[in-house]
Chain A
């Protein structure tokens, strides 16, 4: 984070960024999260990549819309409560504006072929952005050179994409594996100590 930026500038940038992302996100929460990663990690350099992934895991595991959850945490990280307010506002204004327009002009909207086409082709662009983000993320997981992490990534992908297992369950299982991974060295140490004292 660049310290010279004033709080006002950060709040404004935060609002602008979340507004822009929310205005062009289609589909589920993970779409906006990959756009956030591109914006806040790659373009603005505000967050570390690991931090963004942690935020995603927390946002996914707590109740409520994932993009809102991620905005709350991200805003808090950048500028405390004011940051949270700016990020939430940026995230909810575009859909509120677009949807309330559509709610009024509902019939015309559904009949319009040009809009339908634009919305359909934009998916290809969104998919390209996600693939770009995933490519970088996956590369970094492989760089850790820990068989455990690479296996977890592949197994999780198969579980989510092929077996259609819920994201919640996948995160929960990985959480347990992570806990075991964190506890094992401690246990081993104690075991050694126990043997020595015998």
Chain B
């Protein structure tokens, strides 16, 4: 079964273009539909956990499925399967990128991609901000969480004014927010 899991996650790694959310249906297909290793309910829980804990969603799912079904060796194999296609494909792309990126034509194409990437990062930032200040209940005035709004504004101010690093900011807001909610 472990070998089967390994190959399942190689498929997931190979066919999920566009990040974690693209991988979820593929993992579901392999784990729930094709091999019947988990119930749909278990799988939904898994996705919730993969989303709320740190780390890439597909790596989280791979580790969770692997641990649940075959312990630590399962976790290692599933993760390995998930990253193996990335490893070879991106290594090749990196090689070509660094070989040809100085060419004028390539530069022009890349310059047109950069604004799109900035926009995509901004869009991701917006959705996590909405999740942060409205919670999982959805965007509506009555769901607005004042504590998180203050934390966001404070964190942004601290970042621009004192040049703190990302990890300090994230764990700082985590600690401050938990403390406030504990006291409330």
Contact = CB atoms under 8 A, between A and B. Distances in A.
A and B from one assembly? yes
Contacts of B155: 124-125, 128-129
Interface of B: 13-21, 23, 45, 49-60, 63-64, 67-68, 72, 75-76, 79, 82-83, 85-87, 89-91, 93-95, 97-98, 101, 104-106, 108-129, 131-133, 135, 147-149, 151-152, 155-156, 159-160, 165-167, 169-178, 181-182
A114 B178 contact: yes
Contacts, number: 378
A178 B111 contact: yes
Nearest to B61: A99
A173 B65 CA distance: 36
The B contact surface, by secondary structure, is helix
Nearest to A61: B17
B166 A26 contact: no
B54 A152 contact: no
Given A120-B148, A167-B18, 17 more contacts: A29-B56, A50-B111, A55-B97, A58-B97, A61-B17, A73-B97, A92-B55, A102-B53, A121-B148, A121-B174, A125-B151, A126-B128, A130-B124, A134-B118, A152-B116, A175-B113, A182-B104
A100 B85 CA distance: 23
The A contact surface, by secondary structure, is helix
A179 B109 CA distance: 5
Contacts of A57: 110, 113-114, 116-117
